[in-house]
């Protein structure tokens, strides 16, 4: 039997209910080659159009992985953008292109990369991009754990979580990997790009792959605390016997300026400062 671990006290029960988002409908023109070993659909990295003259025009943007000292550093969330838009090639199948250069980075894979054109308008990255910072300042900047990003992700599959370095989290005292159950919803506070994919942070040292769930649109009537937040009455008097836990969402029906500070009402006579929410 699987055991699921709770992180930061954030569980599906603590989040406000949000209507589920329908799963995307996959194109019937997708080819069987675009599946993994389990038969799951693999999202194309880009696209192309057939120009009818033996050439193909590429579309989209790819991401370059940033490495530091042989160990994966932590990009600031966007990685290095590599545009294919408008690039014209003259062969279908696997093609080899020269990798772009970026100031402050060295490319580490023989200066080239490969793309696979599948014959149906989809482009897949056949060999990826590995860039190494050329100075310690950039390397140190890349260790930042992503960028702030506020959303809620509802898992569509049992999701194995990973730590800040991208390695799977293990259940203490076992050889089992920690998983979060399908159908549960989790508050996201940061995102980062690592190992070719986008990951969302749902707890301290706990990340999930973006592909394991669907994002839910932000509710304008919900505020989420960024730290333990004090409560105040409508007259600005501090409530001394309780507070709101950090990283928890709360329904609000109105805002007001109280004693010169913007606040949101989260109960009949309890308000939280705007400076204490994300």
Torsion angle of alpha carbons 10, 222, 197, 90, nearest 10°?
A: 160
Q: For residue 63, what pLDDT is reported?
A: 79
Q: For residue 62, what pLDDT is reported?
A: 86
The token pair that represents 70 in the structure block: 């042989």
Q: For residue 79, what pLDDT is reported?
A: 67
Tens digit of each residue's pLDDT (9 = 90 or more) over 223-239: 888 888 899 999 999 99
Q: Give the position of tokens 């993994």.
A: 36
Low-confidence ranges of the chain (pLDDT < 50): 1-33, 69-78
Q: For residue 195, what pLDDT is reported?
A: 64
Q: For residue 255, what pLDDT is reported?
A: 85
Tens digit of each residue's pLDDT (9 = 90 or more) over 95-121: 999 988 888 788 876 788 899 998 889
The residue among 174, 210, 253, 203 whose CA lies nearest residue 77 is: 210
CA distances from 7 to 13, 40, 242 (A): 13, 29, 22
Q: What residue ranges do the domains of the chain occupy?
A: 46-139, 153-216, 222-276
Backbone angles phi, psi at 94, to 5 degrees: -80, 125
Q: For residue 198, what pLDDT is reported?
A: 81
pTM score above 0.95: no
The residue among 236, 261, 265 whose CA lies nearest residue 250 is: 265
Q: How many residues does the chain have?
A: 278
Rounded Cα distance, 66 and 111, in Å:
15
Q: For residue 70, what pLDDT is reported?
A: 35
CA distances from 81 to 57, 76, 104, 116, 196 (A): 18, 12, 14, 19, 12
Instruction: State the pairing for strand pair 130-133/61-68.
Output: parallel
The residue among 123, 46, 57 whose CA lies nearest residue 90 is: 57
């Amino acid at each position: 039997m699987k055991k699921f671990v709770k992180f930061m006290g954030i569980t599906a029960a603590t989040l406000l209910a949000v209507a589920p988002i329908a799963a995307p409908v996959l194109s019937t023109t997708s080819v069987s080659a675009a599946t993994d070993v389990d038969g799951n659909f693999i999202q194309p990295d880009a696209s192309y159009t057939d120009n009818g003259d033996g050439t193909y025009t590429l579309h989209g943007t790819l991401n370059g992985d940033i490495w530091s000292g042989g160990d994966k550093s932590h990009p600031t969330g966007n990685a290095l953008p590599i545009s294919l838009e408008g690039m014209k090639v003259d062969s279908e199948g696997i093609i080899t292109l020269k990798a772009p250069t970026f100031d402050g980075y060295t490319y580490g894979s023989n200066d080239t990369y490969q793309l696979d054109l599948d014959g149906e308008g989809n482009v897949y990255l056949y060999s990826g991009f590995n860039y190494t910072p050329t100075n310690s300042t950039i390397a140190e900047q890349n260790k930042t754990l992503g960028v702030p990003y506020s959303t809620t992700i509802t898992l569509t599959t049992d999701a194995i979580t990973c730590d800040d370095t991208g390695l799977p989290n293990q259940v203490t005292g076992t050889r089992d990997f920690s998983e979060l159950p399908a159908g549960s919803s989790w508050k996201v506070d940061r995102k980062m790009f690592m190992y070719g994919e986008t990951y969302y942070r749902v707890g301290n040292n706990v990340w999930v792959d973006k592909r394991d769930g669907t994002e839910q649109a932000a509710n304008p009537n919900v505020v989420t605390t960024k730290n333990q937040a004090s409560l105040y009455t409508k007259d600005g008097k501090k409530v001394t016997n309780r507070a709101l836990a950090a990283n928890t969402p709360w329904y609000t029906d109105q805002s007001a300026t109280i004693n010169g500070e913007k606040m949101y009402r989260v109960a009949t006579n309890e308000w939280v400062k705007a400076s204490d929410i994300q």
